[in-house]
Copies of this chain bind each other. A is one copy, B any other.
Amino acid sequence: MVVVMQEGSTEEQIQHVIDKLVAMGFDVHRSTGATHTVLGAVGVLTDFDPRHIELLDGVREVVRITQPYKLASRVFRPEGTVVDVGKGVRFGGPEVVVAAGPCAVESAEQVQAIAERVARLGAKLLRGGAFKPRSSPYTFQGLGEQGLKLLRQAADKNGLLVVSEVMDPSQISLMVSYVDVLQVGARNMQNYHLLRALGEVSKPVLLKRGMSATIEELLLSAEYIMAGGNYNVILCERGIRTFETYTRNTLDIAAIPVIKKLSHLPIIADPSHGTGRRDKVSPMARAAVAAGADGLLIEVHHDPEHALSDGAQSLYPDQFAQLMAELRIIAPAVGRRIA
- Residues on A lying within 8 angstroms of B by beta carbon are 2, 4, 6-8, 27, 29, 31-36, 38, 40, 42-44, 46-47, 49, 51-52, 54-55, 60-61, 63, 65-69, 73, 75, 133-140, 167-170, 187-188, 190-193, 196, 210-212, 214-217, 220-221, 223-224, 227, 240-247, 250-258, 261, 274-280, 283-284, 286-292, 305, 309-313, 326-327, 329-330, 332-334
Chain A interface mostly = mixed
A56 to chain B, nearest CB (A): 9
Q: Are B136 and A223 in contact (CB under 8 A)?
A: yes
The number of times this chain is found in the oligomer is 4
A42 with B51: in contact, given A212-B241, A214-B245, A330-B333 (CB under 8 Å)? no
Residues of B within 8 A of A284 (CB): 253-254, 257, 291
Q: A278 CA to B284 CA in the complex, in Å? A: 22
Nearest Cβ distance between residue A79 and chain B, in whole angstroms?
13
Contacts of A288 in B (CB 8 A): 287
Known interface pairs A2-B63, A137-B224. Does A283 touch B256 (Cβ–Cβ under 8 Å)? yes
CA of A286 to CA of B332, assembled, Å: 12
In the assembled complex, which residues on chain B have CB atoms less than 8 Å from the CB atom of A196?
Answer: 137
Given A136-B223, A245-B245, A256-B283, 8 other A-B contacts at CB below 8 A?
A4-B63, A36-B66, A46-B136, A51-B313, A137-B220, A187-B191, A247-B258, A329-B333
- Least CB separation from A44: chain B residue: B34
Say whether, besides A38-B42, A250-B250, A287-B253, A243 and B261 are in contact (CB < 8 Å): no
